[in-house]
Amino acid sequence: MIILASHSPRRQELLKRIVPDFESHPASINERALPVLDPPAYVQSLATAKGQSLVPSYPGATIIAADTMVAFQGKLLGKPHDRAEAKQMITALGGQTHQVYTGLWVRLDNGSVRQQVVTTDVTFWPLSEADVESYLAEDAYQDKAGAYGIQDAGALLVKSIQGDFYNVMGLPISTLYRMLLAEPQ
């Protein structure tokens, strides 16, 4: 049995590309209780906490947990609370390069644990006020770390990426596939 510690439709869609049969169960953790560390350490600690929270309920299962965050100039950008915060984020990212970090935590059915942080650099085009307003009008910023999703309207903001495209969507499936096979990284 394989358990995905998430109800995210994007993560489920991506996981189906490499694992056709799994169950999705969200982890119930208090993210605010974890200390905010540097971005890579923080996403790894969140993924670890999510995965470990499901071990007692699924002791013999393979458990996959992930957490994705956007960071700009060393500062974490979570999901915007409202349109104004989304506008601040998108405006700041315009013409700049930022990082997307995903912490992966996998406990295989044999009990061994693998973890890794995947980093992707994303560069946005320089954005005018009209560009930002046009993007915000799509409401595609809602429920997205950094106020954008590369798989929808946010794709028009992106000039280039260096690294794993699927990491920016929230689940770096190439790395995860290798972790599930227990191949060395």
Residues that are catalytic: 67
Name the region of 121 (left: φ>0; alpha: ψ -120 to 50; beta: rest): beta
Q: Work out the end-to-end distance of the chain between its first and last CA atoms, rounded to an integer number of angstroms.
A: 24
d(CA 68, CA 158): 18
Query: How far is residue 154 from each of residues 13, 34, 101, 157, 163, measured CA to CA in Å?
Result: 18, 29, 17, 5, 17
Helical spans, DSSP H, in 37-172 = 39-54, 83-93, 129-137, 165-169
12: buried, middle or exposed (CB in 10 Å: 19+, 13-18, 0-12)?
Answer: middle
125 DSSP 8-state letter: P
